[in-house]
A and B are shown apart, each in its own frame.
Chain A
Amino acid sequence: MKIDKKTVEYIANLARLALTEKEKESFTGQLDKILNYIDKLNALDTSNIEPTFHAVPLKNVFRDDEVKPSLTQERALAMAPEKDRNYFKVPRIIE
C-alpha cells in the first residue's frame, strides 16, 4: 500500500479540499491502484535522460514592456463572490 488514509488527509490539506470520510476512503483505494499502475515507469532506466517539460522547446520569451489595454478594476471585481469597495472580501485572515 502506497496510499493510506493518513496520506490522503495530508494531500487533501495541501490541495485545500475538505473531503468527506467517504471520499477519503474511496480515494485511498483508487489512488493506490492508479499509483501501482504508474509504477511501471520504474521499469525504464532514465538516469541519463533529460526531462521534457515542454514538447516544443522555447526559451526566454520576451516582449516589449508596453502598456496595453487591460481589465478595469470594476470589470475585474465584477465576478467576485464578495467585495467591499475596490477589494475582494474574504473571511478574517489575522486572528
Chain B
Amino acid sequence: MELNELACHELHEKLAKKEITSMDIVKAVEKQIAATEKNIHAYITIFDDMEEQARKIVDKLTSGQVDKESLLWGIPVAIKDNICMDGRRTTAGSKILHNFIPPYDATVIEKLKNAGVIFIGKTNMDEFAFGSSTETSNFGPTINPSREGRVPGGSSGGSAAAVAADEAILSLGSDTGGSIRQPASLCGVVGMKPTYGRVSRYGLIAFGSSLDQIGPFSRDVTDCAILLNALSGYDSRDSTSVNRPVPDYTKALTKNIRGVKIGIPKEYFIEGINAEVKKAVERAIETLKKLGAEVVEISLPHTEYAVATYYIVATAEASSNLARYDGVKYGHRKEGTSIVDMYGKTRADGFGKEAKRRIMLGTYALSAGYYDAYYLKANKVRTLIRQDFEKVFAKVDVIITPTSPTPAFKIGEKLDDPLKMYLSDIFTISANLAGIPGISIPCGLTKNDLPIGLQILGKHFDEEGILRVAYAYEQISKRGFYGL
C-alpha cells in the first residue's frame, strides 16, 4: 500500500517511530493528485506549498508551535472551499466569490494549524453548499471515484472524493441537510455531522445558520474520532457553539456493543428506496444484532414532512445569509447605473441557477404576508420533528437508517428537476432540523460496485454513542465482509 492510501492513525504510528516523514506522505499525495485529479476534479485549489509545510513541521513540533500530543501532525488534510483560510482563495464554489481571499482563519483552521496538519487545498462543492451532487459548482462537477459518469454526492462532494480517491488522508466538509453524510455514502468513506453547536462555525461561509455544522471525512471510524477531537469545542466567536466539555472520542471505540439499543424507524424503509441499498442496510442491522445489540422498530411519524420543512427553513436562512454578496466589500462586481442596478446585476451574474432558485424561494417564504404561512409554519413542524427524536431517544441509544435512498446517480440525472434532487436528502435532513449528530459509514457495494452507506444517528452530544456502534460494525466490514 502507498502512504496516501493509509489511515491517519496508521501514518501517525509510522511518523512517531520515525519510519517515515511527513514529506514522504506529502509526496505520495502529490503523486496521486497528479495521476487522478484530472478524472476526479476533487479540488478547486491545490496549494503549491505542501512540501514547504512538510519541511517546517518538525521545527514547529520542537518549538511548541504544534501540539506534541497531536495525532494529526504531518498529515495532509483537504478543506471544503466554504471554510475560510487566511490568505488562501475561498470561493464556496461560486463565481461571486471567485477572487475572494479571506483575511482570517476559521476556528477549525486555527485548530488544525495547532494540530500540525498539512493543508492540501480547497475542495469542490455545490455553490454555497446548495445541492446534493456537486454539479452546481461554478468550477465544474466532481466525478465519483467509484465510477466514471456518477456524481460523488454533495454538497461536500470534493471532500468525499478526495479521501475516496486517496488524494487526501482526511478532509473537512460541512453538513446543512446531509452534505457530509450523503457524499460519504456515495463515495464509500466515513463522514460525520456533529451535534449542532459541537464545532465552531466561525469562518464557515454561512448557508443555513441554524442547521450548518462542520465535520470530518475519513477512511475509517478511528480517524473520524481523531479528527473530531481536534475540531470540537466552545468558541466565543460562535455564539451558537455550546460550552460543554469535549470527551476523548477515541475512547468510545471499544468494539463492545452488547446491550446497546438500536431503533429502526419504519418510515425510512419506504417505497422508492433502492432494493440493493435496503438489503445492505438490513444485513448490517442483522450483523449488529449478532454482535449483541438489541434492535427495536420505532416510529418517527413526521418524517414525510422533513423535506418540505427543510426547504423552507434552509432557503429562508440562505436568502438572508446571501444578502451580503452585493459587490461592495469583496468578491465579484458587475457595474451598474445606480447602486440598486449594480446589486441586481452583480448578483444575477455572480450566482448560479440553484443559488438564485433558493434565494427566490427563501425570499418568498420570508416576504410580507407569507412569513406565517411558510417560515413560521415550517419552524413549528420542525418542533414536531425534533420531538419525534426526543420521544424515540428516551427508549433507544442510536437510530439506524440508510444514508441515501439510492447509490450514486448519473451526472445530469437530477440537475433540472430541483424537487427530485431535494428528495435525495430525505434520510439526512431530519438530523439537521433536530440538531442531532449522525455518521455515515460504508456498508456494502451494489452489484455495479457503487458504495452504500449506513447512517447512525444519536442523541444530542452523544457522538460517542454513534462512534461506538460504527466502530463495532467496522470491525466486520473492514475485512471485506459487510455482514456476519
Contacts and interface: CB of A to CB of B under 8 A. Distances in A.
Given A52-B379, A55-B196, A91-B339, A30 B435 contact: no
Interface of B is mostly: helix
Contacts of A55: 196, 210-211, 386, 432-436
Tier of interface size on chain A: 35 or more
A15 B359 contact: yes
A71 interface: yes
Interface in A7-50: 7-8, 11-12, 14-20, 23, 27, 30-31, 33-35, 37-38, 40-42, 44, 46, 49-50
Interface in A36-95: 37-38, 40-42, 44, 46, 49-56, 58, 61, 63, 71, 75-76, 78-82, 88, 90-93
A73 B242 CA distance: 31
Given A34-B418, A37-B308, A54-B435, 5 more contacts: A7-B364, A41-B381, A46-B380, A56-B195, A81-B328
B338 A38 contact: no
A71 B104 CA distance: 8
Interface of A: 3, 7-8, 11-12, 14-20, 23, 27, 30-31, 33-35, 37-38, 40-42, 44, 46, 49-56, 58, 61, 63, 71, 75-76, 78-82, 88, 90-93
Contacts of A34: 311, 361, 418-419, 422
Interface in B304-340: 304-305, 307-309, 311-312, 319, 323, 326-333, 335-340
Contacts of B386: 52, 55
Contact of A61 (B99, B239, B340): B239
Nearest to A69: B104
Given A58-B239, A81-B333, A31 B360 contact: yes
A16 B330 contact: no
Contacts of A91: 335-339, 341-342
A14 B319 CA distance: 11
Interface stretch (B9-17, B163-171, B263-271, B370-378): B370-378
B129 to A, nearest CB: 18
